């Protein structure tokens, strides 16, 4: 008796938690948001003791209030950044889980082994015995779709065309899964600019009040010094946002490269384990062979 050697529910990072997992390498937005909140809480939990000391400007700029009257924008900026980071980490884990299917030996390791419509169902049954929910693995789903359609396909070229169509569909679906991080990477700098504008309006507004009050030169110098200090504080939110957006963009580029390599490996796997072993029987030849059998028996 063959035992399952690969269980999708045990390797998929979302299915492990008992939630409704997204298809193949797609990531649940809500699941990644929860982990983004957790990472944000951990980040501020680590920084808070250093913030209480109050000596490091690079730490204090992540918190609101203080003498500089910082806004709360950095909290939301960090939340979006960690949300995107959690999304990419989960996606990496899902790609790694999908890669495990590439280690399976679906057919005997022999050049003489032939796949045809006659044994297609037998191969599908073998996959189901080895893998729990094989259709949730991208590469196995491709192979099963091709095998199930062998009886309706007359030539090997048609099978190759079907696999190419499935590969193109998977590539398009993969591109669509990056909609959320792309949107967050766009929103993070905008949020930083909003924080800067709020800081600028407050600093300039304070200086305007001093000028309107008809203050003397010393008072104006003091107010102007407050404006420059306020400008420096205001631009901190933009600095935080731009750094986070840059880091996330680089990480997303690396993850996309990993997924592209995985999709290419899937195409290679399908060729080695399916297309290279195909032997299609032409329908007309099959009918001629069937008709020739009674004639041979009569002789």
Selected residue with higher pLDDT from 102 and 109: 102
The rounded mean pLDDT for the chain is 81
| Window from 10-19, 56-65, 149-158 with minimum mean pLDDT | 149-158
Whether pLDDT at 218 is above 80: no
Structure-token pair, residue 206: 């304070």
Q: What is the pLDDT of residues 229-238, one digit of tens each?
A: 556 667 788 8
Cα 70 to Cα 76: distance, rounded to the nearest angstrom: 13
Q: What percent of the chain has pLDDT over 90?
A: 41
Q: Is the pTM of this model over 0.95?
A: no
Average pLDDT of 33-41? 96
Buried b (16+ CB within 10 A) or exposed e, 83-121: bbbbbbbbbbbbbebbbebbebebbeeeeeeebebebbe
Selected residue with higher pLDDT from 54 and 26: 26
């Amino acid at each position: 008796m063959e035992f399952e050697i690969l269980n999708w529910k045990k390797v998929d990072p979302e299915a492990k938690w008992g939630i409704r997992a997204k298809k193949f390498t797609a990531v649940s937005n809500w699941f990644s948001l929860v982990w983004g909140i957790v990472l944000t809480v951990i980040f501020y939990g680590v920084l808070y003791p250093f913030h209480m000391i109050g000596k490091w400007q690079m730490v204090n700029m992540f918190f609101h209030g203080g003498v500089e009257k910082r806004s709360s924008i950095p909290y939301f900026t960090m939340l979006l950044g960690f949300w995107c980071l959690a999304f990419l980490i989960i996606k990496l884990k899902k790609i790694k889980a999908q890669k495990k299917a590439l280690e399976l030996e679906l057919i005997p390791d022999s050049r003489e082994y032939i796949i045809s419509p006659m044994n297609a169902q037998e191969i599908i049954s073998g996959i189901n015995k080895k893998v729990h929910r094989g259709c949730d693995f991208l590469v196995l789903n491709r192979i099963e779709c091709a095998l199930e359609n062998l009886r309706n396909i007359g030539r090997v070229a048609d099978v190759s065309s079907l696999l190419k169509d499935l590969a193109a569909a998977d590539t398009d679906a993969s591109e669509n899964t990056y909609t959320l991080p792309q949107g967050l990477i766009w929103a993070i700098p905008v949020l930083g600019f909003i924080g800067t504008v709020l800081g600028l309006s407050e600093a300039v507004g304070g200086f305007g009040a001093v000028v309107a009050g008809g203050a003397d030169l010393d008072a104006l110098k003091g107010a102007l010094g407050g404006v420059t200090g306020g400008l420096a504080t205001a631009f901190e939110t933009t600095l935080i946002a731009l750094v986070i957006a840059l880091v996330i963009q680089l990480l997303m580029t690396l993850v996309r490269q990993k997924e592209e390599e995985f999709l290419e490996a899937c195409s290679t796997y399908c060729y080695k384990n399916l297309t290279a072993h195909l032997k299609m029987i032409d329908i007309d030849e099959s009918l001629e062979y069937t008709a020739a059998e009674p004639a041979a028996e009569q002789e």
